[in-house]
Amino acid sequence: MRCGRGAPLEESWMNKLYGAAVAGCVLMGTAGVLPAHAVAGGVSVLRGQHYGQRIFPDDSFTVSDPSQLTGRRVHFVQGVDYPTVNGAVQPRCDSTDYSICDAFAELNTLDGFDPQPRVTVPFTGSVDLNSVNDGDFFVTDASGAFASGMRQLTFDPATNTLAGISDRFLQEDTRYTVRVTSGIRDGAGNAVSACGSGGCSVSFTTRSASNRLVSIR
């Protein structure tokens, strides 16, 4: 069961597509082995290599593509980022989970991420959702200025994943940075480990506009 807070916002078609991509699967098994950088005895932000084990959105899930308006294209890798079922990434989809691969294939045609992204942050343990605010979980622009806070905050105890939707639309075809700090508290009230004293920062590029995308929204 998920717990959350915040005023409801209309969810974009792209965020719904990400939801479809992971529907019916668990991003991280609770019995899985934590990465070597996980802090023993404390809760930290995961910094793994594939989708579900690092902050998202992130331009590490894109490749250079000069044919795109943004110069980048979303690039999830089958067998590495998806499909994840019962905590394990499968080499391919089959008749029981083909919709996951279909959703990721559609995402891989895009030239960036949603201008009102659903941001996810995986942790090694539980966090106190009431400790999360716009000073500890937010988005900045290229100059480092505050661009957006988060709303519709949720924490999924099955995957230890914090999620929120930006509280405003970001500029299209623009680079932004997700920032997470140790101001967030774990379930015991202790500060989480967030990539060192400077906090975690992950950059991503918003997609460009097109008549096709506007019609789908």
Provide the CATH number for the domain around residue 91: 2.60.40.1220
Global confidence as pTM:
0.79
> Does a structural domain hold residue 62?
yes
> Does a structural domain hold residue 5?
no
> Does a structural domain hold residue 170?
yes
> Does a structural domain hold residue 208?
yes
> Does a structural domain hold residue 138?
yes
Q: What is the pLDDT of residue 183?
A: 96
Instruction: Label residue 207 exposed, middle or buried (CB < 10 Å: 0-12, 13-18, 19+).
Output: buried
Q: What is the pLDDT of residue 84?
A: 81
> Does a structural domain hold residue 36?
no
Give the count of domains, the chain: 1
Which has the minimum average pLDDT: 80-84, 123-127, 159-163?
80-84
3 state DSSP class of 108: coil
Residue 38 pLDDT greater than 90, yes or no: no
> Does a structural domain hold residue 37?
no
Q: Average of pLDDT values for 97-119? A: 94
> Does a structural domain hold residue 7?
no
Which domain, by its residues, includes 116? 12-30+42-216
Residue 67 pLDDT greater than 50, yes or no: yes
Residue, of 51 and 86, whose pLDDT is higher: 51
Residue, of 4 and 107, whose pLDDT is higher: 107
Q: What is the rounded CA–CA span in Å between residue 176 and residue 203?
A: 6
Q: Across all residues in the chain, what is the average pLDDT? A: 84
